[in-house]
């Protein structure tokens, strides 16, 4: 028995919820048979509309039959844990990730495409974070750099952030890195393709007490590339990150 509802009420609500999810009709008191299908249609449409809005690239990739089968399988077999409708797409991604689906053999990058699209939502909806106190003027090489804290770094095996999903094949498989962040003034989400070197650079510099010149000195030994070449390639990249509002300045 549910602690908050009378046992009979809980049973009737559970049976209706079961029907809305699966289409299997269990006994429900006072039911009008020729109207109950409207409940499932309305609830299903909310689920489908939410997922279509969250995953437009995936929707475009899959055929109508593939999409409808996938959404129906998720809706009928997965018990959502979150009370927030905007978080349901994450559970959809998890469902695909954890399920053995033929679609994942046909589209080997499907999980990563869903993850990329979900991360855009996650970054857009994340709670506001405290930005570090920063000053505008400073020296790239010697001062500590302050980053926008509202970001995610993804490592991927397929270029779901660079190519139309319909054009991605197994031949595209290699390491990819993408920076996804929220602009502080507009709330707009941006993403930037990164090399392995620049992804590691951001990870190392973010919140650390190491300067850029320290990291480039280490990188010179690790990668066997001259420090001047590293500097000449890195400074324009940092200028771009500052222009795009990912770098907010230099630590005070």
* pLDDT value, residue 235: 97
* pLDDT value, residue 29: 58
One digit per residue, the tens of pLDDT, for the chain of length 252 reads: 445 545 655 555 655 555 666 655 555 555 656 666 556 667 788 889 999 999 999 999 999 999 999 998 998 887 777 778 899 999 999 999 999 999 999 999 999 999 999 999 999 999 999 998 999 999 999 999 999 999 999 999 999 999 999 999 999 999 999 999 999 989 999 999 999 999 999 999 998 899 999 999 999 988 889 999 999 999 999 999 999 999 999 998
Please state, in angstroms and rounded to a whole number, the distance separating the CA atoms of residues 241 and 119: 19
Please state, in angstroms and rounded to a whole number, the distance separating the CA atoms of residues 92 and 50: 11
Neighbours of 114 (CB within 10 A): 24
* pLDDT value, residue 80: 74
Q: Which of 214, 219, 228, 171 is nearest to 195 (CA)?
A: 219
Q: Look at domain 134-251 and name its CATH class.
A: alpha beta
Q: Are 182 and 152 in contact (CB under 8 A)?
A: no
* pLDDT value, residue 187: 94
b/e map 129-156, b = 16+ CB within 10 Å: eeebebeeebebeebbbbbbbbbbbbeb
The residues of the chain that CATH labels 3.90.930.50 are: 134-251
CA angle 195/199/204 to nearest 5° reads 145
Three-state secondary-structure class, residue 156? strand
Please state, in angstroms and rounded to a whole number, the distance separating the CA atoms of residues 164 and 109: 12
Three-state secondary-structure class, residue 234? helix
* pLDDT value, residue 46: 86
């Amino acid at each position: 028995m549910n602690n908050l509802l009378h046992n009979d009420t809980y049973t009737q609500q559970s049976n209706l919820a079961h029907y809305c999810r699966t289409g299997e009709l269990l006994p429900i008191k006072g039911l009008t048979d020729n109207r109950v299908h409207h409940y499932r249609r309305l609830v299903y449409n909310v689920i489908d509309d939410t997922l279509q809005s969250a995953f437009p690239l995936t929707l475009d990739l899959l055929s109508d039959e593939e999409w409808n089968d996938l959404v129906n399988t998720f809706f009928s077999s997965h018990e959502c844990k979150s009370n927030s409708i905007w978080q349901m797409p994450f559970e959809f991604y998890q469902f695909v990730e954890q399920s053995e689906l033929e679609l994942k053999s046909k589209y080997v990058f499907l999980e990563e495409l869903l993850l990329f699209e979900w991360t855009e939502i996650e970054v857009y909806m994340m709670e506001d974070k405290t930005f570090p106190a920063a000053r505008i003027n400073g020296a790239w090489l010697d001062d500590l750099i302050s980053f926008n804290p509202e970001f995610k770094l993804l490592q991927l095996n397929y270029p779901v952030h660079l190519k139309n999903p319909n054009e991605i094949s197994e031949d595209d498989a290699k390491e990819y890195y993408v920076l996804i962040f929220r602009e502080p003034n507009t709330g707009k989400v941006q993403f930037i393709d990164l090399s392995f070197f620049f992804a590691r650079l951001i990870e190392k510099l973010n919140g650390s007490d190491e300067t850029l010149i320290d990291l480039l000195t280490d990188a010179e030994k690790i990668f066997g590339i001259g420090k001047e070449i590293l500097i000449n390639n890195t400074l324009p990249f940092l200028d771009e990150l500052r222009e795009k509002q990912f770098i907010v300045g230099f630590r005070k």
